[in-house]
């Protein structure tokens, strides 16, 4: 890759109050972040949860190792935060409450910043104060023994879809031969994922109210994967019709969620 394609240049604009004689701010030059799909090898200039072409895992070409540190947690959020982290990490057997009582705590270490940012957004939605710091920064010595991170290195993205379903939807996309059907499949998976993600990042207070919808989205995608291997594998055109129906089903869920949320907000 040429040097020109690897760098990003940003010139900060002069403020309105600055005079013509005020020295211009320095030009900031830094290397572009480039990401690659492990499956189809497509390159991207920003991070995607799933590859937009094949649902493959998108990784940074040059990972920047960082840590995610929790600084403070509201007392009222301790129980809910434990449940959230158990679900999104897939790790149930961990002493979360002890770590919550030993702040600051490095929750995830030695992981690329693009992945940590998604975890931090979940934490912020739960009113948790957290920061991402380069792993190269010197650690402050503490008299007490630090609690181990959930992930010591190379953490995955949060599992908004269950780990099993996430693997299944990627596996189906990988073997689909009909390009049109594959793109429909990619679209419906991304829609379902976006709905569930919103209950962790944007509307965490609605998770209990819409928990059935979250479960159903995961179950519908799982069932569609199962049906592909038992029926649709030799009938991909028919799978396209089934995926279109699933898309309409998810769209109906979104509309219902939006309408119910409006009604609840109007009563507050």
Whether 94 has a pLDDT exceeding 50, the answer reads yes
* CATH code for the domain of 89: 3.30.1390.10
CA distance readout (Å), 90 to 79, 82, 87, 136, 157: 17, 12, 5, 28, 11
Give residue-wise pLDDT tens across range 4-15: 454 454 444 444
Is the Cβ–Cβ distance between 211 and 154 less than 8 Å? no
Reduced to 3 states (helix: H, G, I; strand: E, B; else coil), residue 92 is: coil
Whether residues 49 and 120 fall in one domain: no
Whether 48 has a pLDDT exceeding 60, the answer reads yes
58 versus 4: the higher-pLDDT residue is 58
Whether 109 has a pLDDT exceeding 90, the answer reads yes
Give residue-wise pLDDT tens across range 76-87: 999 999 999 999
Q: Is residue 158 domain-resident?
A: no
pLDDT range class, residue 26, cuts 50, 70, 90: low
* CATH code for the domain of 41: 2.20.28
pLDDT range class, residue 25, cuts 50, 70, 90: low
pLDDT of residue 112: 93
Containing 113, the helix (H) or strand (E) segment is: helix 113-125
Whether residues 57 and 69 fall in one domain: no
Whether residues 81 and 52 fall in one domain: no
Poorest-pLDDT segment among 32-46, 110-124, 222-236, 237-251: 32-46
Q: Into how many domains does the chain fold?
A: 3
Q: What is the DSSP letter of 76?
A: G
User: Please, is 173 exposed, middle or buried when counting C-beta atoms within 10 Å of its C-beta (0-12, 13-18, 19+)?
Assistant: buried
Beta strands of the chain (E only): which ranges? 7-10, 28-31, 35-37, 43-44, 58-60, 65-72, 105-112, 129-134
Q: Is residue 141 domain-resident?
A: no
pLDDT of residue 4: 41
Q: Is residue 4 domain-resident?
A: no
Whether residues 177 and 238 fall in one domain: yes
Q: Is residue 126 domain-resident?
A: yes
Whether residues 52 and 113 fall in one domain: no
Domain final position from 37, 61, 85: 61
Q: Is residue 129 domain-resident?
A: yes
pLDDT range class, residue 135, cuts 50, 70, 90: confident
Q: Is residue 69 domain-resident?
A: yes
Whether 39 has a pLDDT exceeding 80, the answer reads yes
Residue 32 belongs to domain spanning: 28-61
Return the closest-CA partner of residue 194 out of 181, 205, 203.
203
The pair of structure tokens assigned to 190 is 């991304």
CA distance 237 to 176: 11
């Amino acid at each position: 890759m040429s040097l020109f394609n690897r760098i990003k240049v940003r010139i900060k604009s002069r403020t309105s109050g600055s005079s013509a004689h005020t020295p211009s701010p320095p030009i900031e030059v830094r290397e572009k972040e480039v990401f690659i799909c492990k499956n189809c090898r497509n390159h991207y200039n920003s991070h995607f949860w799933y590859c937009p072409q094949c649902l493959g895992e998108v990784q940074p070409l040059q990972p920047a190792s960082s840590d995610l540190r929790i600084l403070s947690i509201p007392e009222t959020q301790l129980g809910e935060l434990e449940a959230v982290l158990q679900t999104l990490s897939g790790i149930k057997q961990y002493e979360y409450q002890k770590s919550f009582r030993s702040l600051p705590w490095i929750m995830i270490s030695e992981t690329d910043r693009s992945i940590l940012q998604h975890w931090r957004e979940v934490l912020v939605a739960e009113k948790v104060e957290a920061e991402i710091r380069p792993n190269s920064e010197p650690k402050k010595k503490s008299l007490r023994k630090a609690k181990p991170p959930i992930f010591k290195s190379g953490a995955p993205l949060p599992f908004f879809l269950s780990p099993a379903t996430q693997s299944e939807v990627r596996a189906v996309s990988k073997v689909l031969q009909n390009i049109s059907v594959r793109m429909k499949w990619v679209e419906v998976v991304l829609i379902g994922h976006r709905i569930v993600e919103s209950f962790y990042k944007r509307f965490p207070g609605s998770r209990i109210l819409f928990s059935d919808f979250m479960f159903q989205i995961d179950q519908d995608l799982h069932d569609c994967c199962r049906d592909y291997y038992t029926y649709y594998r030799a009938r991909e055109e028919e799978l396209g019709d089934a995926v279109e129906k699933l898309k309409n089903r998810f769209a109906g869920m979104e509309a219902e969620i939006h309408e119910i949320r409006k009604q609840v907000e109007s009563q507050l």
